Structure 1
Amino acid sequence: MNEASTRNKFYSYIEQTWTITEEQLNELKDKPLASFIVSKETDVVGIPETKFYLKLQMARESIDKNGFFLYLCFSRPKNSSKIRAKYSFFVKSENYSTQFDNIFYPEKTTGWGDEICPVEKFFKRNFIFHGKCIIEIKGILIFEEINEMPKIVMESAVLSRALWEKDEKDFKIEVENEGNIMVHKNVISARSTYFERMLNSGMKEAITNSVKIIDFNLKTVKTAIEFFYDRNIFESLNFDDAFDLLRFSDKYQIIDLQDKLELHLIYQLSPSTVCKLSNGSIYSNSVKLREICTNFLMICSKHSIPIDDLKNLDRDFAAELFLKTFSPFD
């Protein structure tokens, strides 16, 4: 399966940790049936105006017993697409976990879940630890009917366009054996804390108004400089170029470029790309991307979702993933 084969589907990883106090649980227990409490709403990455949250509800288990029921719920526009959700709930203090595979329709489905425990047993077991019940959810949302795939959009201001077009750039970056590129010192200092410190330090580079870069190619450096001037670099950025650029932004402390690149790559996350993205996260030293890929793969394992190119997964990463996958409460 190639990168483009799942472009009609968008995958979004979700995760939330919800801490409920014992006092809140006692208050819920004493309220009428169908009473509930909810967690905070969390944005679904890549899908505008769509948030998810958890709901803990007291409902009747049988004629003489009440239970706590736990649900995944969404807040979103009525005309939004259906969501296929593969997710798991965890309460580590009780060694409790359960998993679901549900479809959420925008006008029909308010939430999916199930009973977590009868109310009386809940307070006798280990769901509450040190006065708190900590509930976690990890899952994958699959969107098949969205009108447009999420993407990073760069808006070039009048000033940045004017600076880009000017020839009076006053700082030279020499890329070994490939060529040079010019940039404004004020621009590169504003976008990179590494270069800001260099140019304010009195070092040789600050005096000569030039710096040599030997560990990145000219294409990567040029693309980074284009980003400094708010050029749209994401439209045709392939994975390998993105990983090089992410490594460049990590080394030279270009925080906003790093954030946008990670989000750009997360938008591409799917069962057909996750192994390539995992390897790229190691190469580029992206902790955030690596963590999301790890969790995505673990959910795929739990829900028997086929993954492409597993044989190409970095060996150390694969070994660590194996241990995490078979440690149910990691």
Structure 2
Amino acid sequence: MNRPSNRKVDQRKVDQQEYDSVRRYVDMWAMPGMHPSNVEFLQKLKTADTNHFTTHMDCVGTVSELDQESGDWEKTHLVGVRTDVWKPDDEELDCALGAMQDKRRREVKQSIKKHGRLTKKQTERLDEELAADEIMQLKCNEIETRRLVLKLFKTTGTRVRWVGTIEEVTAMEVQNSMGSARTLITMAVNLPRTSFVTYVQQNHRTFRIPAIYTSGFYDDEQMWNVMIKRQWFSIGADFDVEVNGETIGEIDGRLFSFGYDSYVEVDEHPLAENTQFVDLLTLFATSVGYHKAMRRSIKKRTEAACCGESHRNLLHDEELRLRHNGRAAA
């Protein structure tokens, strides 16, 4: 599994101090429901010291880290996906649509009478308006609810710990895709012990086909400007990682794999010793195999928005909380 990299590393030094490099192997599975580690994952997380595990979660991959001294690989992390929002079943779609329609019913009722019970005439008016309302006429298969949420758990030591979540921000995806006429991915990364949300945004550049993602990572001392650039010529899905204009690592996708497997490498740099930054890159690597399906969903949402049918897009409460204004008065 340990193989040399052919990438040319930028030799500029950030500091005179020596730093250790980091290398991880991300193993994402094509058919997670059939993988035996799903049983292991569920057993571990039933007693996990975290509230990030939910009943609607499947294990979809593992992460191993290279011990620089021994040269051995140790399986250190598990990757889980929220199946209820990524692959909702008919019952979950029905519940989502029911919640949308209940909310719409309350809004229409309040537009007729803000408080109290409706009179007979007002009730008849409510029924008429609801009968003509587009949201009340929707069917389950007409709404777009798919949204990617992946979580990373540290499994070494005496307990299982949540160490990060990467989740799709569909509202921003639609806004950016409408403005650029391209399907652009936006994800938010939540990491423990920090009050900041890190956004990973795909950017559109004219005549630039390989995807480029930018982010700002704050380590409590400074803001690092991060660029994840897909390589022009690569057999798998390979990305160069640049920080403040310097190439410090790469995500090396394997060609022959049933899921998206990749090596995440960070060279001798201060951020190589920042576990949260390495977890950020690892979470991005876990999402790459889902990008094609995400773009299909973004295209449907954007087309609906451009046709004035934004009501077909379901925004989850978790996503709305990412847009919370912390300075707003209570």
Scaled by the length of structure 2, the TM-score of the pair is 0.21
RCO higher in 1 or 2 (8 Å CA, sep ≥ 6)? 2
Kindly name which structure, 1 or 2, has the bigger radius of gyration based on alpha carbons.
1
Scaled by the length of structure 1, the TM-score of the pair is 0.21
